[in-house]
Structure 1
Amino acid sequence: MKRRTRNRLLLGLTIIAVPLLLALLGPLFAGAPGPRAASFTPGTLGGDPLLGVGGDHWLGTDFVGRDVWQQVLHGGRTVVLTALAATVLAYLIAVPIALISALTHLRWLEELLMRPLDVLLAIPSLLLILLVASVLSPGAAGLALLVALVNVPDAARIVRAAAGEAAARPAVEALRMQGETWWRIALGYVGRSALPTLAADAGIRLTGVLYLVSTAAFLGVGVAPDAADWAVMVDRNRTGLFVQPWAVVVPALLIVALTTGTNLLSDAALEKKGPRR
């Protein structure tokens, strides 16, 4: 078990290292996003230019003649930072709701907090994002907020289940009788007891958030149609896949590596915690 966990951890770190390094450090080495290449000869398919590999562009040029490698270096930061921000924000909203619901003795307050979240769970997340985006036209920050909000119901239910088990223990009643504050009980005991469940959920949720952020960007939500973004690159260059595949394949593989590496690291962390629990 230890060897399998170690191998999974190393594999996850290896897979996720490339997209993370490109996303976080790539813009430092890429310089300003380049202009349309001067040396390409575009073809046409569906009205979009098809650009091949040649000259100084060792991965070719994209649908408007920009260097693909430079776009790859610039395109990961928005995906990674938006996904991380959305995940953190989702928990900042969901955890207080879950703790209040688990510790309250007021049935109506628990119903008021949790039942609206159950209603939101019935609405597909991507559909809700698209409906809101069609009215508000959010930027990257708005997209992070939208993705966070659609993840709040599920995250709150999971944390609520773990916190409810801890809140029902005699130790909580003993802490109340000793005059401990609500915050100390909620964060110091119940929240700490729910922390392993929250950590297990975080890896899976980050993968789901990456999927939502990438899909929304692919559909043009939160980013400009010609932005240096991995998901946008896949969308805008897909019509020329068989003429210039690198503009689609490279960013798509980086997104897949990011989600796969996150899953492997999450699984390794859970296996490592399992025997101790």
Structure 2
Amino acid sequence: MKRLAGHGAGAVLVAVPLGLALAGPLLAGEPAARSASFTLGAGHPLGTDFVGRDVLRQVLLGGRSVVLVALAATALAYLVALPLGLISALTHRRWLEELLMRPLDVVLAVPSLLMILLVATAFPPGASGVVLLVALVSVPDAARIVRAAAAEAASGPAVEALRMQGESWWRIAVGHVGRSALRTLAADAGTRLTGALHMVATAAFLGIGVASDASDWAVMVDRNRPGLLIQPWAVVVPALLVVALTVGANLLVDASTQNRPPHRKPRRP
């Protein structure tokens, strides 16, 4: 029952912001004439923002640049971190492990905000640049998690037996070691998505890859803060959508990785 409740609550919380990110631009319609800043009513269900645009339309348009960029950055980070972590866990060559992991430790030593500022100059502006930037910042930590999760299985007798049988590295790494670390990686994926959302929002706050008046949930929260007490919906609604996606993703992961209770056969009378 607890697992079902976690799955249900997580699915609902994830479905709302994800659905708005995918279908919102199709429902936004044509832009209306601008009104006064931070007003309520007058044909605007959620009021107007700091430049007089309809907040509801901005909410429908602003999810794609946050949600899809964070999802793409998380997927790209694992696409790079998985082979790095698995190779490091399975190799018997110390020099190869040092060659793979020590540069990642150097990147980890640099604060993520400073890394964003330094690397942003090397990437082109736009969503693709933010995806590459967030993925680059996320790879070192994700690779260390993969290596730590796979280390125990990689040093076990099953791996030695598979090597003696002449199994390919791909089958050993993915078929056995990767599957044994799947639960840990699934739990880390929720945290990694949360971190990606935070970094995407930080990049938007700093104006990296996103215009200062763009239709973006993170930009809406930042730019509409001066009118929070006058017209709160311009800040509260996009902030709640980001929080819902973060909490929902973690609820789904937690519910999926919980141990199932053992099945007991009923006693015969």
TM-score (norm 2): 0.91
Task: Give the whole-Å Cα distance in 1 for the aligned partners of 2:260 and 2:103.
Answer: 33
Counterpart for residue 236 of structure 1: 223
Residue 160 of structure 1 aligns with an amino acid whose one-letter code is R
Query: Structure 1's 238 and 91: CA in aligned 2 closer, same or farther, altered over 3 A?
Result: same
Counterpart for residue 65 of structure 2: 78
Corresponding residue to 1:249 among 236, 242, 249: 236
Task: Give the whole-Å Cα distance in 2 for the aligned partners of 1:273 and 1:216.
Answer: 40
How far residue 159 of structure 1 moved from its aligned partner, in angstroms, is: 0.8
Q: Kindly indicate whether the alpha-carbon contact (under 8 Å) linking 1:117 and 1:153 is maintained by their aligned counterparts in 2.
A: yes
Task: Give the whole-Å Cα distance in 2 for the aligned partners of 1:165 and 1:137.
Answer: 40
Task: Give the whole-Å Cα distance in 2 for the aligned partners of 1:169 and 1:191.
Answer: 13
Residue 108 of structure 2 aligns with an amino acid whose one-letter code is L
Task: Give the whole-Å Cα distance in 2 for the aligned partners of 1:255 and 1:196.
Answer: 25
Equivalence map 1:255-266=2 (5 Å): 255-266=242-253
Helix, strand or coil for the counterpart of 2:230? coil
Q: Kindly indicate whether the alpha-carbon contact (under 8 Å) linking 1:5 and 1:272 is maintained by their aligned counterparts in 2.
A: no
Corresponding residue to 1:14 among 9, 12, 15: 12
Structure 1 vs Structure 2: percent identity of aligned residues? 69
TM-score (norm 1): 0.88
Residue 213 of structure 1 aligns with an amino acid whose one-letter code is V
How far residue 137 of structure 1 moved from its aligned partner, in angstroms, is: 5.5
- Residue-by-residue CA offset, 1:38-57 (whole Å, 9 max, x unaligned): xx34xxxxxxxx33013211
Query: Structure 1's 136 and 90: CA in aligned 2 closer, same or farther, altered over 3 A?
Result: closer
Q: Kindly indicate whether the alpha-carbon contact (under 8 Å) linking 1:102 and 1:160 is maintained by their aligned counterparts in 2.
A: yes
Query: Structure 1's 91 and 135: CA in aligned 2 closer, same or farther, altered over 3 A?
Result: closer
Q: Kindly indicate whether the alpha-carbon contact (under 8 Å) linking 2:46 and 2:233 is maintained by their aligned counterparts in 1.
A: yes
**Two-structure CA RMSD over aligned residues (Å):** 1.9
Aligned residues: 263
- Residue-by-residue CA offset, 1:69-127 (whole Å, 9 max, x unaligned): 00100100111110110000000100100111111111011011011111211222122
Residue 22 of structure 1 aligns with an amino acid whose one-letter code is L
How far residue 233 of structure 1 moved from its aligned partner, in angstroms, is: 0.8
Helix, strand or coil for the counterpart of 1:127? helix
Query: Structure 1's 274 and 236: CA in aligned 2 closer, same or farther, altered over 3 A?
Result: farther
Counterpart for residue 140 of structure 2: 153
Task: Give the whole-Å Cα distance in 1 for the aligned partners of 2:261 and 2:168.
Answer: 32
Task: In structure 1, list runs of 5 or more residues that go unmatched.
Answer: 42-49
